[in-house]
Structure 1
Amino acid sequence: MEAADPRPQDAEPGLIDRMPRALQPYFRLMRADRPVGVWLLFLPCIFGLLAGRLEEMTADSFWRLVILFLIGSFVMRSAGCAYNDLVDRDLDAKVQRTRGRPLPSGAVSPRGAAVLIGALLVIGFLVLIQLPLLAILIGLLSLALVAAYPFMKRITWWPQLWLGLTFNWGVLVGSAAAAGTISLEAALVYAGCILWTLGYDTIYALQDIEDDALAGIKSSARRLGRDVRRGVAGFYAGAAAFWLGALLLGGAGAWSLLLVPAVLHLLWQVTAMEEGDAARNLAVFKSNIWLGALLTLPLLAL
């Protein structure tokens, strides 16, 4: 077995490098060095809040929910990454970009990963029970999606679609927390976010397309092949259509034009992605934090 690598190939340099060496692999297992995933889990929660009836909430209640969702997003994304790596440790050992991760490299044992996951889930549950009852129940349902996700790449060409269902569940939780129900506007935003994730995670999967083929890992990027740019464009067009439907249904009217910057950013992603250029595709993927910020603007009109 390879010696533990203090910084795997896909790790980001930063604060973790200054932590005690014994702790570094656990924080890398949590992807604490790559916060983009936390934001992509947190932003849909905010979308759900905005798609709810915010006029019925006090400012204190709103910001309390924002803080709870931010903490919950960090904790649950960390638990999800650790669980995914635990399940995928043998597959990750076959992929150049991921073979240096804590589990396949031996820096963290499966038992150590399981203890970490358990601790994170306890913290996540303590955060979840601070929400209204309906939001708690909806949040608990997401665990089935999370548990199944790592196995999707073994049984379907569309694990990115399953990730979309999972990663954007916060839209439904946010709507339930804000409005006590899942509004139709929130359902449309959720549908759009599923397609958004399908698009950006297809771009992300382009990094590993050759290694995935050798390891037998399925992905939307492999399934689309030479049509990947056209496929991502279609996913993003569908996402924009659902978001526009939510805005019009919610009475945003002319304020729906605030969706234009987000649509232009999606168009830029389609033109900027490039098969065979892993660094470029990773940069395009990370830019979706800004897409989420741009999407927040029109949703404020709901």
Structure 2
Amino acid sequence: MTLGEFLQALRARLDPGALGLPRGGRRRVAGLRREEVAVLAGVSVDYYTRLEQGRERRPSAQVVEALARGLDLAEDERQHLFHLSGYAPPVGAPAHHVRPELARQLDRWPDQAAFVLDGTLEILAANALARALLSPLTASDNLARAVFQDPAGRTFYRDWEGAAHSTVAALRHNATRVPAAVLEPFVAELAASSEEFRALWAQQHVRGKSHAAKRLRHPVVGDLSLTYEALDVPGAPGQQVIIYDAEPGTPTAEAMALLRLHAETTV
């Protein structure tokens, strides 16, 4: 699909009333008129017509953003519009809230520790087992602070050096997913408080969270050998669901069951 074809398809299916335009009057075509799209995007009718007809193939990023904003596109549509125009989508504002449906889903994994992270590794939501698992950490609301600013993190992460490397690499990876106005002050805070963070940040390693092993030490149930999976949250740029799991039949699985019971009895 070309940019012009996508714009035509969008225009045909959009509801004028939903965009604050009058629905009345006789319309020869469904959806919006070209003149209405031009007004919403702040461009001339002639220029917009050239876009649809393929006579203008490389609009500026500002025009693409104006079209996405004026047509009130969903995030996936916005990204597609930028890709068709030859641009990588600019980083949008981070989502600070977790959809209620997703938050409820976390509680449907009672045997796994599940939580939602944003691009600065802030924990936005967590199920009961995740809260119990992370409870030894003073900075249990942010994994980067837990590693570099929380003395308890040195004991909690049995392989602290590995955790430190992966944390910094994840933050480097998220630099393209988090606005600079959000990430840069956070990085400056960590750099000011930790010489180890400064050294690792300077190495420029980049690795997003996907799946890996985690070796932890919990004061209630002892040593744990877990694996985690990281799943991107559709429609919430920068957010990931992290699921910590234990192999069935192992001492760690038994320890996680005890931790779950401990969490239920100490609420």
Give the TM-score of the pair, scaled to structure 2: 0.27
Relative contact order: is structure 1 or structure 2 higher (C-alpha 8 Å, sep ≥ 6)? 1
Higher helix share: 1
Higher strand share: 2
Give the TM-score of the pair, scaled to structure 1: 0.25
